[in-house]
Amino acid sequence: MRSLRTPRAIFALAILAVAVATLPSSATALEPVAENDGTRGARASVRDVNGVFLGTINIQPSDGKLIIGGRLSGLAEGFHGFHIHTAGICDPRAVDPNTGAIVPFLTAGGHLNPGGTPHGHHAGDLPSLLVAADGRATSVTETDAVTLAQIFDANGAAFIVHAAPDNFASIPARYSSGGIPGPDAATLATGDSGARVACGVIVRT
């Protein structure tokens, strides 16, 4: 990870290392924020499919970038895909309109991707969470790939934690699926990170 050199960034990093606030999850769209609004941050209370609070993820503007960080608990050991998704709605009882099956947090939509780029380059793509044997994970990321304006568009955004690791569609052409070299459509879309096990609506602070 790139080192943080400015005092402001170091201060923001210290704040984000431990999440202390609990906010109720929301199923409403969020008010847009101006592109140049660098004085306000954001946060999300992350909950699992049973509504159990797992922790808080914070977003702090710093020198034209966003520092995203926090601590979660109650997750299965190992790597988990972690992304910003395109809608600020976390419904653990969401129903897939195509199959009628319950798909937790389907209402959060796909990865935040205003540029229409392949997976691994989505604005909402974040480093995977590494969860220790005690079920805890701490993550801090500095990114200029996503802005507060993109997060707080007409329908908001949410953090999603997935059940499986994210391969970021990094499948070399020497591998194939159905005789076609490289990643298949599902891998290109989601990195094969599996079910959505936790969700947190992002709200302004």
Residue 198 is classified by DSSP as E
Which is nearest to 139 in space by CA: 63, 84, 64, 204?
84
Would you give per-residue pLDDT tens digits along the chain (205 residues)? 344 444 454 444 444 443 333 333 333 333 333 344 445 899 999 999 999 999 999 999 999 999 999 999 999 999 999 999 999 999 999 999 999 999 999 999 999 999 888 788 889 999 999 999 999 999 999 999 999 999 999 999 999 999 999 888 777 788 887 788 888 777 777 788 899 999 999 999 9
What pLDDT is attached to residue 147? 95
Q: Which residues pair with 65 in a beta bridge?
A: 62
What pLDDT does 144 receive? 96
The C-alpha atoms of residue 151 and residue 27 are separated, in whole angstroms, by 15
Which has the closest alpha carbon to 49: 92, 90, 83?
A: 92
Cα(11)–Cα(18) distance, integer angstroms: 13
Question: What is the third-level CATH fold of 43-170+185-204?
Answer: Immunoglobulin-like (2.60.40)
Q: Is the dihedral of CA 67, 37, 42, 196 positive or negative?
A: negative
Q: d(Cα 135, Cα 47) in Å, to the nearest integer?
A: 14
Helix/strand/coil for 156: coil
Residues in the chain: 205
The dihedral built from the CA positions of residue 156, 149, 8 and 128, taken in this order, carries a sign that is positive
Tokens coding 181: 């070299």
Q: How many Å separate Cα 67 from the centre of its chain?
A: 13
- Give residue 183's pLDDT: 81
- Residue 186's pLDDT is 77
Give the model's pLDDT for residue 39.
Answer: 52
